[in-house]
Amino acid sequence: MTEHRDGVDAAAADPERGPRHWSAARLPRGLHPGAWWLWALGLATAASHTTNPLLLALLVAVAALTVLRRRTDAPWALAFRMYLVLGAVIIAMRVVFRIVFGGGQGEHLLVSLPEIPLPEWAAGIRLFGPVAVEQVLGGFYDGLRLATMLVCLGAANALANPKRLLKAVPGALYAVGTAVVVALSVAPQLVESVLRVRRARRLRGATGRGMRALRGIALPVLADALDRSLALAAAMDSRGYGRTAAVPAGQRAATGALVLGGLVGVCAGTYGLLDSTGSGYLGLPMLLAGLVVAVTGMLLAGRRVRRSRYRPDRWRSAELLVAGCGIAAAALTLLAGSVAPELLYPPVSPLTWPEVTPLMLLAVAAAAGPAWLAPPPPGSPSTRAPTAGTPVNAVAAPTRTGDPATSVPGGHP
């Protein structure tokens, strides 16, 4: 807890105004979606640099805790469970694959399955056969790492409204963002109209399947979708969508080149950062250079779009804290890797018990910070009437809604 207090005091420059500043910043509000994504990407980066099951499990627990404490009751926020299930499926798949295909390298035989003989041309592939602990454990570690990264991204998805994220895109990508938003809202309409037409077809006695039924459903649905999209386009046009300022052709070309080049740089940089075997220049420097170029291009392109934003998400101190926590978690894990790499990748043969160093715990603690540091989401039960008048108390005594086991690492680093 002390660590969080420090962060808070640093944020409130004037100790006299501290509590008031604190309470204003702590009012329930939706955090900038970019902050949650940066935090989640930090966690995912940390997870990608280790196969230590203890550290990975702690990261999953931290992500789950933060989601539980800071999500709203919107539909996308409830999808987090799906990511957990998907993660479990990934782990199971990895283990099963190791058992089915993997060689039985390892001394500790778990069970010996009958091997299925394969023809000559399939040499090198083995089906079943002896199953060793090392082999199963290797699959489990691998799967756990992948699952953890997935869960981290799932957490970002649950915490940040995907549509608000689209609203935060720079002006240059505004049209793309709008297209995605419209597409997202069209999907449920399409489902609705398929259900309606299918139901209506029964009235004509048509229950058949196959091409004829497909035609009977598809034509009215498509005609309906076309009508709707025309109506939407007309509505958007008459409400001012697409008002642009004139820009010379040369500047347009330069803008395009900058954005594309920058994005390529960002991709290469990300690859270098995630792939620990790559050469150094491909990593952070490339990522930063790409970002700068791309942002310049987008700023230029954004000049062409004349529009403003209603109640934009602002980047305030809480956003900085949350994003910083994610980055700190990633940096601390990397640091732990440079100090004791063998502890981040515990070997499976010989079998060793995975260990957790203080540095790793510190990384987990940093990752858990937003569960308390981020302002509570609007409209959540814990922020309603009773605490609204006394936000400081609500902060000082966080309600213990989280899993007690998972709150330990964050609470006592």
Partner 1 sequence: MITFDRVTVRYSDDGPPPLREVSLRVEEGELCLVAGRTGAGKSTLLRAINGLVPHFTGGTLYGSVTVDGRDTRRHPPRDLADVVGVVGQDPLSGFVTDTVEEELAYGMEQLALPAAVMRKRVEETLDLLGIAELRHRPLRTLSGGQQQRVAIGAVLTSHPRVLVLDEPTSALDPTAAEDVLAAVTRLVHDLGVTVVLAEHRLERVVQYADRLLYLPGDGRVVDGEPAAVLAGVDLAPPLVELGRLAGWTPLPLSVRDARRRAGALRQRLAATAPPDPPPAPGTAPVLAARKIVVRYPGTVAVAGLDLDLHRGRVVALMGRNGSGKSSLLWAVQGSGPRHRGTVTVDAGIGRDPVDPKQLSAGQARRHVGLVPQTPGDLLYLETVDAECRQADRETGAAAGACRSLLDRLAPGLPGDRHPRDLSEGQRLALVLAVQLTAAPPVVLLDEPTRGLDYLAKRQFVALIRGLAAAGRAVVVATHDVELVAILADRVVVMADGDIVADGTTAEVMLASPAFAPQVAKVLAPAPWLTVEQVTAALGPAREPA
The binding site for partner 1 (CB under 8 A) comprises 163, 178, 181-182, 185, 188, 196-197, 199-207, 215-217, 219-220, 223, 227-228, 231-243, 306-312, 379
Of 89 and 182, the one with the shorter C-beta distance to partner 1 is 182
Of 118 and 219, the one with the shorter C-beta distance to partner 1 is 219
Q: Which residue has the tokens 């570690």?
A: 141
Q: CA separation (Å) from 213 to 194, 210, 218? A: 12, 6, 8
Exposure on the CB side of residue 311, measured as CA atoms within 13 A: 4
Is there a cis peptide before residue 350, judged by omega within 30 degrees of 0?
yes
Whether the Cβ atoms of residue 336 and residue 343 lie closer than 8 Å to each other: yes
The answer to whether the Cα torsion of 181, 182, 188, 190 is positive or negative is: negative
For residue 334, count other CB atoms closer than 10 A to its CB: 18
Of 245 and 397, the one with the shorter C-beta distance to partner 1 is 245
CB of 355 to partner 1, least distance (A): 49
CB of 230 to partner 1, least distance (A): 9
Question: In angstroms, how far is the first alpha carbon of the chain from the final one?
Answer: 8
Of 17 and 306, the one with the shorter C-beta distance to partner 1 is 306
Q: CA separation (Å) from 9 to 14, 263, 339? A: 9, 38, 31
Separation CA 50–CA 60 (nearest Å)? 13
Separation CA 180–CA 183 (nearest Å)? 5
CB of 163 to partner 1, least distance (A): 7
CB of 164 to partner 1, least distance (A): 10
Of 238 and 338, the one with the shorter C-beta distance to partner 1 is 238
Bridging pattern class, strands 109-112 and 130-132: antiparallel
Of 237 and 355, the one with the shorter C-beta distance to partner 1 is 237
Q: CA separation (Å) from 279 to 49, 269, 283, 289, 389? A: 16, 11, 7, 16, 54
Of 29 and 126, the one with the shorter C-beta distance to partner 1 is 29
Residues in the chain: 413
CB of 313 to partner 1, least distance (A): 12
Q: CA separation (Å) from 26 to 31, 337, 396? A: 11, 35, 11
Of 103 and 312, the one with the shorter C-beta distance to partner 1 is 312
CB of 389 to partner 1, least distance (A): 22
Separation CA 143–CA 93 (nearest Å)? 8
